[in-house]
Amino acid sequence: MNLNDRKPEKNSILVVDDDNSIRRMLRMILTNKNFLVVEAKNGQEAIDILKKRVIDLIISDVMMPKVDGFQLCRYIKNDPNLMDSYLLLLTAKNAINDRVTGLDIGADDYLGKPFAITELLARVKAAFRMIDMQKELKLKNKMLRDASIRDSLTQVYNRHYFNESISKEVARSKRYENNLSLIIVDIDHFKLINDTYGHLVGDEALKEVASALQKNTRKDDTVARYGGEEFVIILPETVLEKAHEAAERLRRVVQELKFQHNEKLIAITISAGTSSFQENKCQTENDFIDKADQSLLTAKRSGRNRSVICQENLYIPGENGL
C-alpha cells in the first residue's frame, strides 16, 4: 500500500507503553472522551502500525524494550510520510534530561509520570488544536500550489507546470535512456467557433476537450494547456508508435464529443502531432517540442482532424496517421 493512499483516522491516538496497566488506563480515559485509541507494547509495534495506519497523535513512553521512545521519535521525524505526526513523550517527573533529549530530536510535547488526568487531557486537547491547524495549513498550501500549476479555465496543468515537467522528463530520458513521447493537440477551426457562437461557447469547447484528454490518458501522463486552443501531453515510458496510437484514440474521442448551444449541437475535432525524444534523436527539450509542433502543422495542412507522427531521424518510417 502506498502510504500516501492511506485514509486518516479522525481523532486517533496511538498509545505506546510496555506497561499494560498504563495502556489500559490511557485507553479508558481517552476512549471516554471519544478518541479512537490504538495500542502498542513497544516502539517496534508502533512503527509496524504506523506503516499501515494514519494516526493523529502518538503518546509514547521513553523507556521500552526493543525500540524505545527516542528511537521511535527519530524514526517518525525522519520519515517524510510520518514527520507531521504529533508526538507526546511520557517521562519520569524528575527526568529532565529525557525531556530535553526528546524535544531536541523532534518530540512535540512531554508529560511527566505519574500524571494528573486533567493535565493529560489538557495536553491532548492542545495537541489536537495544533494538529487541526497543521491540517488546515497543509490544505491551504495545497490549494495555493494547485492554483499556481492549474489552468484556471480548464483545470488541466498550465504552461508553467508543463515547462517544469518537460525539463524533468527530458533529463530523466537522457540519464536513463528511457522512452519519452510528446503529443501536441490543437482544436480545429477554434476561431470559427468563437466568431460564430461567442467566446463563452469557445470556453466551453476548451473545457470539453481538456476533460476528454484528461479522462482518456494514463495517470502518469501529463496533460497541460499550452496556450490558446493548444494542449500538450507528456507520455513517459512510451515509444513513438504507442504515443501515436494514443493520439489517434484521443482524436476519435474528441470527434464524438457534441455539446449543445441554443438547441444546436456543436461538433469539435482536433489535430495532433507526436514526437519521441529518443526515436527522433532530439538533443534538447526545445527540439523535442518543435518536432511535435511540426507534425501538428503537417496534420493541419493535410486537412485537420488527424494525427501525424514525426518521422524525422527515424530509421524506419512510421505511419503518417492519414
Which of the residues are catalytic?
229
Burial class of 114 by CB neighbour count within 10 A (0 to 12, 13 to 18, 19+): exposed
Q: Which of 235, 248, 310, 233 is nearest to 279 (CA)?
A: 310
In angstroms, the CA 70 to CA 105 distance is: 8
Q: What is the enclosing helix (H) or strand (E) of 225?
A: strand 222-227
Residue 57 makes CB contacts below 8 A (sequence gap 6+) with 12, 13, 14, 85, 86, 87, 88, 124, 127, 128, 131
DSSP-assigned beta bridge partners for residue 308:
273
Q: Which of 38, 52, 43 is nearest to 70 (CA)?
A: 43
In angstroms, the CA 275 to CA 278 distance is: 9
C-alpha cell at 75: 524514526
In angstroms, the CA 309 to CA 183 distance is: 9
Q: Which of 214, 188, 154 is nearest to 270 (CA)?
A: 188
